């Protein structure tokens, strides 16, 4: 289940939508394998085992299933998202927690990996931003170096879009001023009306 599109802003698009790395399933998965092996082995190792022995040996399997189900729910409801406007982090099965970092406020992005994490293609991503949030670290990010590059690429694209919008706005204001000046020269509007409209445009 991906990040809900209804939570996006107008004209905002998702670039990356990542769940935590699959290594969060290793511990509960290992417990399930051990518990299943024990459940199969106990009756064969203990002749004439009473029913309560089988029941007791099944308890670790039940706990492993609950743990695995909880980890799966956590995995499905945790999102690290990069959009065309911001970086979003959301987590929580019932109660929710999240962070939003606008791209224009990001000052630096860095990642760290241990040797084992490099083999697993996972690591931590640190984002420094202006404002109250400061430095935020996100764990278990898949391919953190690629995510870092993608964030920088989106920051550059966002800056280019802002420059383009500013340039278009500047051209539009210049055109309107030219039209107003023409109307003033032809006497369609008074000097006072011209100055008032000019002030509105420049503001």
- CB of 176 within 8 A of CB of 201? yes
Q: Which residue range forms the structural domain that includes residue 176?
A: 153-202
Q: Does 161 fall in a domain?
A: yes
Mean pLDDT in residue range 84-113: 89
- CB of 39 within 8 A of CB of 61? yes
What is the spatial distance between Cα 35 and Cα 65, in angstroms, rounded to a whole number?
10
Q: Does 193 fall in a domain?
A: yes
Mean pLDDT in residue range 112-135: 87
pLDDT on residue 188: 67
pLDDT on residue 49: 54
Among residues of the chain, what percentage have pLDDT more than 90? Answer: 33
- Centroid of chain to Cα 110: 16
Q: Does 160 fall in a domain?
A: yes
Answer with the residue of higher pLDDT: 123 or 47: 123
Q: Does 173 fall in a domain?
A: yes
- Give CA separation, 189 vs 11, 173, 178, 185, 197, in Å: 38, 18, 13, 8, 10
Q: Does 174 fall in a domain?
A: yes
- CB of 60 within 8 A of CB of 35? yes
pTM comes to 0.68
What is the domain count for the chain? 1
Lowest-confidence region among 42-56, 62-76, 114-128, 144-158: 42-56
Q: Does 64 fall in a domain?
A: no
First-to-final CA distance of the chain:
45
At residue 178 the predicted structure's pLDDT band, cuts being 50, 70 and 90, is confident
At residue 134 the predicted structure's pLDDT band, cuts being 50, 70 and 90, is confident
Mean pLDDT in residue range 160-170: 66
pLDDT at 70 over 90: yes
Q: Does 137 fall in a domain?
A: no
Q: Does 128 fall in a domain?
A: no
The whole-chain average pLDDT of the chain stands at 83
pLDDT per residue as tens digits for the range 13-54: 899 999 998 888 999 999 888 888 877 776 666 665 566 666
Lowest-confidence region among 60-74, 76-90, 142-156, 159-173: 159-173
pLDDT at 110 over 90: yes
Residue located via tokens 């445009």: 201
């Amino acid at each position: 289940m991906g990040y809900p599109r209804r939570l996006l802003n107008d004209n905002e698009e998702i670039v990356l939508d990542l769940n935590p790395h699959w290594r969060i399933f290793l511990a509960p998965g290992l417990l399930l394998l051990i518990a299943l092996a024990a459940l199969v082995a106990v009756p064969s190792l203990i002749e004439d085992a009473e029913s309560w022995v089988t029941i007791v040996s099944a308890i670790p399997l039940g706990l492993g299933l609950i743990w695995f189900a909880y980890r799966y729910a956590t995995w499905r409801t945790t999102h690290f998202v990069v959009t065309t406007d911001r970086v979003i982090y959301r987590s929580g099965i019932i109660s929710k927690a999240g962070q939003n970092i606008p791209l224009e406020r990001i000052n630096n992005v860095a990642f760290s990996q241990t040797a084992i994490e490099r083999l697993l293609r996972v690591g931590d991503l640190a984002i420094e931003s202006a404002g109250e949030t400061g430095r935020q670290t996100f764990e278990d990010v898949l391919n953190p170096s690629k995510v870092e590059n993608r964030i920088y690429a989106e920051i550059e694209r966002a800056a280019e879009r802002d420059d383009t919008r500013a340039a278009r706005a500047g051209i539009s204001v210049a055109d309107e001023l030219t039209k107003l000046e023409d109307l003033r020269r032809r006497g369609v509007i008074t000097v006072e009306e011209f100055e008032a409209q000019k002030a509105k445009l420049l503001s």
